[in-house]
């Protein structure tokens, strides 16, 4: 999106996913490491808020001000229709849940990659 390249969405883009911002994930991992020896897990750390892949692609285009277009490719047969972690144990055992909303995490992530592009660390795709 930062380079105005097409963004690929598989199928209709209605399959759902959830993303957890890295700071939230690290907080959950640290809390897990600080538990008593008697609690060993397993435990899901993630964000239970779902959105479609088409919603994600459109949000990325909006937040970057990109001229990227969305292209659709066939949905792989093994592509899950839904991804949503159950964080009940994390809430109960770690008093943990993600705090960063998707939009806020994307704003931070986009700023990071914009910095890499503007510093020359990442070259535009056409220059490769």
pLDDT value of position 128 = 44
* Domain 7-127 listed as CATH 3.90.25.10: yes
- pLDDT score of 79 more than 90: no
- pLDDT score of 21 more than 80: yes
pLDDT value of position 61 = 98
Whole-structure pTM value: 0.84
- CB atoms under 10 Å from CB of 122, counted, come to 15
Percent of the chain at pLDDT > 70 equals: 96
- pLDDT score of 48 more than 60: yes
pLDDT value of position 127 = 45
- pLDDT score of 126 more than 80: no
Mean pLDDT of the chain, nearest integer: 92
pLDDT value of position 83 = 83
């Amino acid at each position: 999106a930062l380079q105005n390249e097409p963004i690929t969405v598989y199928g209709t883009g209605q399959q759902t996913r959830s993303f957890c911002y890295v700071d939230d994930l690290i907080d959950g991992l640290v809390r897990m490491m600080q538990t008593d020896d008697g609690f060993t897990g397993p435990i899901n750390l993630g964000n239970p808020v779902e959105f479609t892949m088409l919603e994600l692609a459109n949000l990325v285009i909006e937040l970057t001000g990109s001229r990227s277009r969305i292209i659709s490719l066939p949905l792989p047969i093994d592509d899950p229709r839904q991804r949503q972690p159950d964080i009940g144990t994390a809430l109960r055992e770690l008093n943990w849940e993600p705090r960063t909303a998707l939009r806020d995490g994307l704003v931070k992530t986009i700023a990071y990659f914009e910095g890499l592009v503007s510093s020359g660390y990442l070259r535009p795709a056409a220059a490769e």
